[in-house]
Structure 1
């Protein structure tokens, strides 16, 4: 349970950092790239067993980390496009609703138990995520030509969570979790650096040190959000379908309350309904465990 709580806390800190970027005019792309470098360094620092860099590609999970690294930064870019074209609420719903993909994977591949309480809890949690994420009275508005972007964000986010679950269960040794995470972030960082170099050649790159600071403050909680999520999946306190559901819904809850306390965000009645349903959903899922 401790690992799950720390994963939720780290992910919530990421939310706060992102909310502060516009206030300090942080270039999000530059900060994201620095964030991946910092997260990679955290993984290498916390790796307790000895390793040689040249031997990392020999690990069976190595090719998958490269794919995950590509997905990490690709999904980020898709999120940026979706935000620009359809709004932040659409991105929030797409990323959080993607939890259905690892849930279905866990139920089918690992044959996880799905009792009535767990089913109702997951269903209420999904409804809660939608209601709590919509901050406009009129709900979501997506032009047909822009629909592909939130769909890709949904699929990409779900595939990332599912792949992490599969790899940690099948290939990644417990002591190699930091190194596994570091390799994912390294792959994402390389792609991000190449993107920045390309922008520099086109004359669209302007370096500012504050972007490095923004990346550092993002990279540390980003690493721990992945590290503790993997530890939570291994804790066996809940099955993976329960871990992913509680993790995503709790992040929405804590982020919403922090939005009220720190950024004076106003909630609509449906947002409060979403919060109530989220709490009920978590209680139902936890109840079936015991």
Structure 2
């Protein structure tokens, strides 16, 4: 359970760092690329064994890390497009609700326990995540022609979580978790730096020190959010549907609390209703055994 809490904490720190990006006018894409480098370095440092390139190239999970690294960059850009066209609330809900994909994968593929009370708790959690994610001040309306991008964000985010669960369960040894996580970020960094070089050659971007510092601040919690999530998925007594539900809901709850305490964000009645549902669903999922 401690790994689940630490994953929630690390992911919520990412939210805090992103909020500070606005305050300090940091170029998000530059910081994201630097963040991938720092996250990859954190993984290689945490790896207790000597890094053997030949062993990594022969690893059965290598194609999966390359696939996930590509998805990280693609989904990030899709999220940016969705935010511009449909608003922050739409991209927030699409990202958070994508947790239904790994939950269903765990219930169907791994045949995890699915008692009535647990299913009720999961459904309540999804409703809670939706309600808490809605921001009253975002008045942008989604039009049909822009629905493709939120759908792609929803599918991509869900596929990332599902792939991480499948790979760590099928191919990744306990001792390989740090380097497995590092290779995902390495792939994302390589693609991101190519994009930055292309933008620089066209005169559309210029590297700044504050963007590098922002990337460093983001990279460490980003690495540990994945590392601790993988650890939580391996913890005895917690199946993946429970882990993903509690992890996603915990991030929303803690990020909301950070917004209230540090950024004076206001919550609507729907947000408060979502928080109440979230607390109740946690009881159903974590404390009541499957019927």
Give the TM-score of the pair, scaled to structure 1.
0.98
What is the Cα deviation at residue 283 of structure 1? 0.9
SS of 2:85's equivalent in the other structure is: helix
Q: Quote the residue 2:169 is aligned against.
A: 169
Shift >6 Å, 4+ stretches: 137-140
Equivalent pairs, count: 290
SS of 1:123's equivalent in the other structure is: helix
Q: Quote the residue 1:108 is aligned against.
A: 108
Cα pair distance change 1:257/1:108, threshold 3 Å? same
What is the Cα deviation at residue 186 of structure 1? 0.2
Contact 1:70 1:188 in 2 (8 A): yes
User: What residue ranges of structure 2 are gaps of 5+ in the alignment?
Assistant: none
What is the Cα deviation at residue 288 of structure 1? 2.9
- Cα RMSD of the aligned pairs, angstroms, is 1.3
What is the Cα deviation at residue 237 of structure 1? 3.0
What is the Cα deviation at residue 53 of structure 1? 2.1
Contact 1:75 1:153 in 2 (8 A): yes
Contact 1:115 1:288 in 2 (8 A): no
What is the Cα deviation at residue 100 of structure 1? 0.5
Q: Quote the residue 2:206 is aligned against.
A: 206
Cα pair distance change 1:184/1:279, threshold 3 Å? same
1:238-257 residue CA offsets vs partner (Å, 9 max, x unmatched): 11000000000010001001
Query: What aligned pairs does 1:186-225 form with structure 2 within 5 A after superposition?
Result: 186-225=186-225
Q: Quote the residue 2:8 is aligned against.
A: 8
Query: What aligned pairs does 1:238-253 form with structure 2 within 5 A after superposition?
Result: 238-253=238-253
SS of 2:288's equivalent in the other structure is: helix
Could you tell me how far apart the structure 1 residues matched to 2:141 and 2:287 are? 36
Contact 2:117 2:285 in 1 (8 A): yes
Query: What aligned pairs does 1:97-136 form with structure 2 within 5 A after superposition?
Result: 97-136=97-136
What is the Cα deviation at residue 49 of structure 1? 2.1
What is the Cα deviation at residue 87 of structure 1? 1.0
